[in-house]
């Protein structure tokens, strides 16, 4: 990038650079983000009547395109440039147009000065740098392969097998000897003592099973294989045993990354799984729509059901029916004594539709019963997580009668607990962020002190750094969740380097090119969410009740707004009432568009209707704002707001009722990490308009099976929907075409079967990698523990002290 800057400076375009800098200084701002920079450049080109060639193809326009931030000070400007995905450079340009690179520590100092939090006379600030600890791991080179970590890791491991065959075959042999279930040896026994013996016996076993009928049950030749040294775990039929042994035989003789993944994926090594999801109201009924309770709960419950089913299938195929092996899955969450009519005060709750999957709730210790007996916001939960993990470990050991084989953390708090548990239990663990708050709240790290009373970002961002570096592997729903797009940084990428002024500087917070990152999108529960045209499967006995709820009833305390014309096309949205979900932004876009009001009713299912019923400050603020917008734009008779908590089955049918009326679904979030409601609406068959900020960019193919909107531009939102309605008027089949393509998009890509099969395969591969590199990770884990005890814990105790005084 320095070459591009120098090219601008060596050409006539340096005059434009000077003039553009003067334009920025005239705006009475000092910090510009990419959208502001691009907008200012547009204005500069228009006001100076620049040619289209200059606007699109000049060196200066290319420099503007790559610039993510500009910081102005008295004598210079700083350009933060992103030449390619997952990389960043910074340069200082002085008034005399001299250019010099800026190091990451100096850039962080500059940002501190911007918010008047730079105090060099008090000594250097603490720096966090994880880069040296990634020496143990290979790194990906091509940014396009970020998020395909297991594929890269398999190639790396198989190359090691090829380069040092004796060492790695010995490692593989010892790994196979590890596996047991409730004391019973699996795979190989003491009759096989060396890796050379293993190679010889595999060939003998292949000869035995090759002579048998492919469908012959494992039980009939079990003891013959046992005499050779092979215990259960190779397969349930002669064909399955033969295929597994043949893969191993090929792997020993000629290592290959695809064979390695195929073989490791067949090893029965996961029987007990813990999914950690702490905050919110974690239950199966009557919880959705409560504060902090939404898509994450749906995600975990759907994942559990599919995960148990996949485990049962895998263990059956491995031939472990002879040992009566039964998998067990636990969702670890907090117990809320004052449960407000939900099941959140029950220690153990069976998960519907499963054989052996449970919600295990562990209470927070009663440091302050006035708080810990009740729901606690996800922003306030931090002081209780360490002792929660200690108590949870005891409960998990009791429930499993042993230790879990895999721990999956969810969200920042669950990910921290997953780390604490995995560290003590010494098991493989992965994390799922769902959404990293740092990306959702603009400048949340720079102004953390101003936001600390409400959000406690110092704790959350520290917990995020700990979890994402400690995890054996990371699951993201989309590629851009990790590293963004060519125009915007990803959620994880935002942790690469940042400052928490007067607390610490993060010089290198995460290695984005680490093979720990894997894109594994979630699915949609097809038993609940399915096309509105599937009339035989629908809840036909509930349709009239839900029709009245959505369009007609006017005597319920949970409904605001009676529609003047209930037969107008419904414009529908459903989400929590918080700032990021931006339902008030949708109401404002609707309120500003007379055309949209004329053609559609706005139907919202969202949170509570009254501020006195809520204890969440964001929800209260959004309730007040929503009422204000209804009055401001005179929306009475055109909007209907339901403050109801629907069962999952009702939720699925509500989408379909909207589909019966050729309705439209709008997801107007300011940022959405993924967007389960988008999958739900699409698989139902609703044409879906979703935010272009975040995961929907990878779910929806614009104008083919859905539509992007910029939720910050109210006019654009309304125009996009009106243009769709106009197209429907011109082509009576257009709504149906988009509807069908939406359904096909979900069925082809977003199923829980695909997700859980991939999750378990990843867990096994990373379990093998963890076994082979454990000693190399110990230095990083010790560093992470230091951050926990020296940074996180003191601040958590400080917050606990504040709680005790409430």
Lowest mean pLDDT among 35-39, 162-166, 172-176, 277-281: 162-166
pLDDT band (50, 70, 90) for residue 556: confident
Question: Which class does domain 540-750 fall in?
Answer: alpha beta
Average pLDDT over residues 252-276: 92
Tell me if 710 sits within 8 A of 717, measured CB to CB: yes
Question: What is the assigned CATH class of domain 2-102?
Answer: alpha beta
What architecture is domain 272-523+754-804? 3-Layer(aba) Sandwich (3.40)
Domains 149-177+188-230+234-266 and 272-523+754-804 share a fold: no
The residue among 247 and 256 whose pLDDT is bigger is 247
pTM across the whole model: 0.85
Q: What does the pLDDT average to over 707-734? A: 96
Tens of pLDDT, residue by residue over 654-679, are 999 999 999 999 999 998 878 889 99
| Cα 537 to Cα 449: distance, rounded to the nearest angstrom | 53
CATH fold for the domain made of 149-177+188-230+234-266: 1.20.120
Q: Which of 313-322, 350-359, 606-615 has the lowest mean pLDDT?
A: 606-615
For residue 139, give the H/E element and its range.
Answer: none
- Phi and psi at 530, nearest 5°, equal -150, 165
Collapsing DSSP to helix, strand or coil, 692 comes out as coil
CA-to-CA distance for 250 and 243, rounded, in angstroms? 11
Question: What letter would DSSP give residue 180?
Answer: E
pLDDT band at 399 (very low <50, low <70, confident <90, very high): very high
Q: How far apart are CA 165 and CA 253, in angstroms?
A: 9
Q: Which of residues 116 and 94 earns the better pLDDT score?
A: 94
Write out the E strands in 84-195. 89-94, 99-101, 127-129, 180-181, 184-185
Distance CA 301, CA 349 (A): 12
Q: What rounded mean pLDDT belongs to the chain?
A: 93
pLDDT in tens, 56-108: 999 999 999 999 999 998 888 999 999 999 999 999 999 888 899 999 999 99
- Residues 605-647 have pLDDT tens digits of 998 899 998 888 889 999 999 999 999 999 999 999 999 888 8
> For residue 162, is pLDDT > 90?
no
Residue 1 pLDDT: 67
Q: Which H/E stretch holds residue 431? A: strand 428-432
* DSSP per residue, 569-636: EEEEEE--SSTTT-HHHHHHHHHH-HHHHHHEEEEEE-S-S-GGG---HHHHHHHHHHHHHHHHTT-T
pLDDT tens-digit series, residues 464-502: 999 999 999 999 988 989 998 888 899 999 999 999 999
Provide the 8-state DSSP code for 792.
I
* Higher per-residue confidence, 795 vs 122: 795
Location of structure tokens 């966090």: 128
DSSP conformation letters of 502-561: TTEEEEE---TTSTTEEE------TTTS--TT-TTTS-GGGHHHHHIIIII----TTEE-
Q: Are 602 and 590 in contact (CB under 8 A)?
A: yes
Domain boundaries, the chain: 2-102, 149-177+188-230+234-266, 272-523+754-804, 540-750
Neighbours of 536 (CB within 10 A): 5
Task: Give burial (CB, 10 Å; 0-12/13-18/19+) of 83.
Answer: exposed
430 φ, ψ (degrees, to nearest 5): -130, 165
Cβ(580)–Cβ(670) under 8 Å? Answer: yes
Euclidean distance between CA atoms 435 and 384, whole angstroms: 21
Is the pLDDT at 783 greater than 60? The verdict is yes
Distance, in Å, from the CA atom of 152 to the CA atom of 104, rounded to the nearest integer, reads 29
| Contacts by 347-350, CB closer than 8 A, 24 or more apart | 348/399, 349/283, 349/284
Angle at 418 between CA 414 and CA 423, to 5 degrees: 155
- 3-state SS of the chain: helix, strand, coil percent to 5? 50, 15, 35
Instruction: From residue 239, give the alpha-carbon distance in Å to each of 48, 218, 332.
Output: 75, 9, 38
């Amino acid at each position: 990038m320095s070459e591009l800057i120098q090219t601008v400076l060596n050409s006539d375009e340096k005059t434009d650079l000077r003039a553009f800098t003067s334009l920025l200084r005239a705006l009475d701002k000092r910090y510009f983000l990419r959208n502001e920079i691009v907008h200012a450049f547009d204005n500069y080109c228009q006001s100076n009547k620049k040619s289209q060639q200059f606007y699109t193809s000049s060196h200066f326009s290319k420099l503007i395109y790559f610039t993510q931030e500009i910081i102005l000070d008295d004598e210079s400007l700083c350009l933060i440039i992103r030449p390619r995905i997952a990389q960043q450079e910074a340069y200082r340009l002085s008034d005399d147009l001299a250019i010099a690179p800026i190091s990451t520590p100096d850039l962080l100092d500059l940002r501190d000065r911007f918010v008047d939090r730079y105090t060099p006379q008090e000594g250097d600030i603490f720096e966090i740098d994880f880069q040296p600890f990634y020496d143990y791991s290979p790194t990906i080179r091509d940014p396009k392969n970020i998020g395909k970590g297991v594929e890269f890791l398999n190639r790396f491991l198989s190359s090691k097998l090829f380069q040092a065959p004796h060492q790695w075959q010995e490692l593989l042999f010892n790994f196979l000897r590890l596996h047991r279930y409730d004391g019973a040896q699996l795979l190989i026994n003491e009759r096989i003592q060396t890796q050379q013996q293993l190679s010889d016996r595999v060939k003998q076993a292949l000869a035995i099973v090759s002579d048998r009928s492919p469908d012959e049950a494992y039980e009939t030749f079990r003891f013959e294989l046992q005499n050779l040294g092979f215990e259960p775990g190779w397969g349930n039929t002669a064909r399955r045993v033969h295929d597994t042994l043949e893969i191993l035989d090929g792997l020993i003789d000629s290592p290959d990354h695809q064979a390695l993944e195929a073989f490791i994926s067949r090893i029965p090594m996961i029987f007990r799984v813990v999914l950690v999801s702490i905050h919110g109201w974690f239950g199966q009924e009557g919880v959705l729509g409560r504060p902090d309770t939404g898509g994450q709960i749906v995600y975990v419950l759907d994942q559990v059901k599919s995960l148990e089913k996949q485990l049962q299938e895998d263990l059956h195929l491995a031939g472990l029916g002879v040992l009566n092996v039964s998998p067990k899955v636990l969702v670890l969450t907090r117990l809320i004594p004052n449960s407000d009519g939900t099941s959140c005060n029950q220690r153990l709750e069976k998960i519907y539709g499963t054989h052996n999957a449970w919600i295990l709730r562990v209470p927070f210790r009663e440091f302050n019963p006035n708080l810990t007996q009740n729901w606690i916001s996800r922003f306030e939960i931090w002081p209780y997580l360490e002792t929660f993990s200690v108590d949870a470990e005891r409960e998990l050991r009791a429930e499993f009668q042993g230790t879990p084989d895999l721990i999956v953390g969810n969200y920042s708090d669950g990910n921290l607990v997953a780390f604490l548990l995995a560290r003590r239990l010494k098991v493989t663990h992965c994390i799922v962020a769902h959404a990293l708050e740092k990306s959702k709240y603009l400048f949340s790290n720079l102004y953390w002190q101003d936001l600390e009373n409400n959000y406690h970002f110092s704790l959350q961002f520290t917990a995020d750094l700990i979890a994402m570096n400690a995890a054996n592997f990371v699951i993201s729903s989309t590629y851009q969740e990790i590293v963004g797009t060519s125009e915007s940084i990803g959620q994880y990428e935002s942790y690469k380097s940042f400052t928490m002024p007067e607390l610490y500087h993060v010089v290198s917070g995460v290695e984005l090119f680490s093979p720990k990152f894997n894109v594994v999108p979630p699915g949609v529960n097809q038993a609940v969410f399915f096309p509105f045209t599937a009339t035989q499967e629908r809840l036909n006995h509930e349709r009239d009740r839900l029709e009245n709820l959505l369009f007609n009833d006017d005597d319920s305390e949970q409904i605001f707004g009676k529609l003047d014309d209930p037969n107008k096309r419904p414009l529908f949205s459903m989400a929590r009432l918080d700032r990021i979900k931006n339902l008030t932004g949708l109401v404002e876009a609707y309120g500003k568009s007379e055309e949209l009001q004329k053609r559609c009713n706005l139907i919202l299912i969202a949170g509570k209707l009254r501020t006195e019923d809520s204890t969440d400050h964001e929800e209260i603020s959004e309730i007040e704002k929503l009422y204000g917008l209804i009055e401001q734009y005179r929306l009475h008779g055109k909007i209907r707001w339901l403050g109801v908590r629907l069962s999952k089955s009702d939720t699925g049918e509500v989408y379909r009722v909207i589909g019966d009326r050729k309705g439209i679904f709008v997801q107007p979030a300011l940022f959405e990490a993924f967007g389960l409601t988008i999958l739900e609406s699409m698989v139902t068959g609703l044409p879906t308009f979703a935010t272009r900020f975040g995961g929907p960019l990878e779910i929806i193919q614009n104008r083919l099976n859905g539509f992007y909107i910029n939720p910050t531009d109210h006019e654009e939102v309304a125009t996009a929907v009106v243009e769709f309605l106009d197209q429907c008027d011109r082509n009576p089949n257009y709504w149906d075409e988009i509807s069908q393509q939406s359904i096909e998009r979900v069925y082809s890509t977003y199923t829980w079967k695909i997700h859980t099969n991939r999750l378990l395969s990843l867990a096994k591969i990373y379990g093998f990698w963890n076994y082979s590199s454990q000693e190399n990770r110990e230095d990083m884990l010790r560093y992470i523990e230091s951050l926990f005890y020296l940074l996180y814990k003191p601040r958590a105790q400080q917050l606990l002290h504040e709680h005790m005084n409430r």
